[in-house]
Amino acid sequence: MREYLSRLKARDELLVIDREVDPCHELANVAVQLQRKSAKAVLFNRVKGSALPVAINVYSQHDRLCEIIRCEGKTFCERLEEHIQASLGPGPWTREAAAEALHHGKLSDLPLLTHHGRDGGRYITSGIFVAKDPESGVPNLSFHRSQFIADDELRIRLGSSHDLYRYQQVAEQRGEPLEAAILIGAPPEVFMAACVSLPPEGDELALAAAMRGEPLPMRRCQTIGLSVPAEAEIVIEGRILPHERRPEGPFGEFMGYYVEVGDNHVFEVTNVSWRADAVYHGLVCGSHEDLRPLEAATAARIYKHLKSQVRGVLDVSCRPTVMNTIVKIQKAYEGHAQHVLLAAMGSHLDYNKLCIVVDEDVDIYDMEEVVWAFLTRGRADTRTMVLHDVPGFYRDPHKDHWGRLGLDATRPWGREAEFQRKRIPGDETPIDFGAYLAGQNL
């Protein structure tokens, strides 16, 4: 990740802050307010109570995600699917890394952040869990929030739809702890691969290597029987205890609300190590950096499903939240948009609460343009599809996310010429404003 930060700095896409900041609320506050004004990543060099700097807002831009997976002129959805297919091949996808001196310490040596006002304490939110399926041995990467309790204990939230939850259940039925490692400051390809939901036989480490185009260097952990990417800045080793649940929370989640205190899993810490000059990766849950990678990975999953069901699908976006899906199509027949809406609603049973279909001339990463298309290209009543009483997001005891809404924002079939968009000649060619503004800055 530090190499990627160097590239961002060389491109003037990294802000460096040398003023000391408090990891309790202040760092998150500065990061979020900067994100509203700038697309640049941020490096805090001095964080109170720790010798390690904190990088944040690193993965907040879709263009950066495309760069990380080497889109090379293709859409994110297209390129990610190519990498997934490649990762199913024989490899090799990993290699043994050269020996590297590591520093060892305690969890409390790290610049653990407290984000929101009612959060129950310090949380690790960018941590990527590495674990193996107890039955098949296939490695898995996934994100789970981790609350700091003591130097030897974290309390973690395992979503019931995640592979790590299934692994823990198998180990628990055997009366065994599940060994796992938490990566902080992982290589960008590993971060992106951890966002992707693969079939049970899929290997996210192989996917990360496919994104990179070469095998990942790996090193053995010191207290558990796992290998981890050697380029990870910080590695926390430990095990998830069986038949043990303790209070965790409250925590400000990605939807913008707090999840209250609940009994969740216990992670026993057995070792904490970091590389020389390590950089801690912070992440504010619900920020652009949290949502953009999840949206992109979810969109790619939906894109793959749609391509197998209906023709004419060009691209998919899940902006501005994964609860929303926007599909760009090349409309081929009357009712095409309705077919796409039905297929989209069934493509991801957690997240597709709102689905919108647009024509090929609409920017699916600009919600203002998407809403404009719906409001200007036909009736509001007959182009709306409501599916009642369909279960939604898995953590929803009050059924707040049940039901589906579909919007056809495409041009009426057979009347496309009436909806030709107006254009100013030359508006697609960037202008050198210096010739017009006479030294004034925009």
Nearest Cα residue to 358 out of 343, 387, 336:
336
Instruction: Let me know if 147 is exposed, middle or buried by CB neighbors in 10 A (0-12, 13-18, 19+).
Output: buried
Confidence at residue 90, expressed as pLDDT on a 0 to 100 scale: 87
CB atoms within 10 A of CB 433: 10
Confidence at residue 162, expressed as pLDDT on a 0 to 100 scale: 86
pLDDT band at 261 (very low <50, low <70, confident <90, very high): very high
392 or 167, higher pLDDT: 167
Contact 397, 422 (CB under 8 A): no
Confidence at residue 46, expressed as pLDDT on a 0 to 100 scale: 97
Structure tokens at 87: 């990762």
Confidence at residue 323, expressed as pLDDT on a 0 to 100 scale: 87
pTM given for the model: 0.90
The separation between CA 66 and the C-alpha centre of its own chain, rounded to angstroms, equals: 13
Tracing tokens 């894109």 back to the chain, one arrives at 303
- C-alpha–C-alpha distance, residues 169 and 177, integer Å: 10
Q: Which domains does the chain have, with CATH numbers?
A: 1-58 (no CATH), 91-277 (2.30.110.10), 289-412 (3.40.1670.10)
Relative to beta strand 128-132, strand 178-184 is antiparallel
Q: Assess whether pLDDT exceeds 90 at residue 351.
A: no
pLDDT tens digits for 272-329?
A: 999 999 999 999 998 999 999 999 999 999 999 999 999 999 999 998 888 899 999 9
Nearest Cα residue to 297 out of 329, 315, 322:
322
Q: Assess whether pLDDT exceeds 90 at residue 428.
A: no
Nearest Cα residue to 143 out of 285, 325, 340:
285
Which of 3-17, 238-252, 274-288, 391-405 is predicted least confidently?
391-405
Tracing tokens 């719906």 back to the chain, one arrives at 374
Question: What are the phi and psi torsion angles at 417 (to 5°)?
Answer: -65, -30
- C-alpha–C-alpha distance, residues 360 and 358, integer Å: 7
Confidence at residue 403, expressed as pLDDT on a 0 to 100 scale: 83
Structure tokens at 308: 């197998």
Mean pLDDT, rounded, for 162-166:
92
Contact 127, 183 (CB under 8 A): yes
Confidence at residue 348, expressed as pLDDT on a 0 to 100 scale: 79
Express as a percent the part of the chain with pLDDT over 90: 80
DSSP letter at 170? H
Confidence at residue 322, expressed as pLDDT on a 0 to 100 scale: 85
Residue 115: partners with Cβ closer than 8 Å, 6 or more residues away: 25, 28, 123, 125, 252, 284, 285
pLDDT band at 200 (very low <50, low <70, confident <90, very high): confident
Q: Assess whether pLDDT exceeds 80 at residue 392.
A: no
DSSP string, 135-153: TT--EEEEE--EEEEETTE
Evaluate the omega torsion of the peptide bond into residue 250 and state whether it is cis, within 30 degrees of 0: yes
Confidence at residue 402, expressed as pLDDT on a 0 to 100 scale: 84
Task: State which of 142-156, 247-261, 422-436 shows the largest mean pLDDT.
Answer: 142-156
**Which secondary-structure segment (H or E) carries 305?**
helix 288-309
Confidence at residue 391, expressed as pLDDT on a 0 to 100 scale: 78
Q: Assess whether pLDDT exceeds 90 at residue 196.
A: yes
- C-alpha–C-alpha distance, residues 20 and 111, integer Å: 12
- C-alpha–C-alpha distance, residues 381 and 207, integer Å: 43
Nearest Cα residue to 198 out of 314, 125, 297, 76:
297
pLDDT band at 34 (very low <50, low <70, confident <90, very high): very high
pLDDT tens digits for 84-106?
A: 999 998 879 999 999 899 999 99
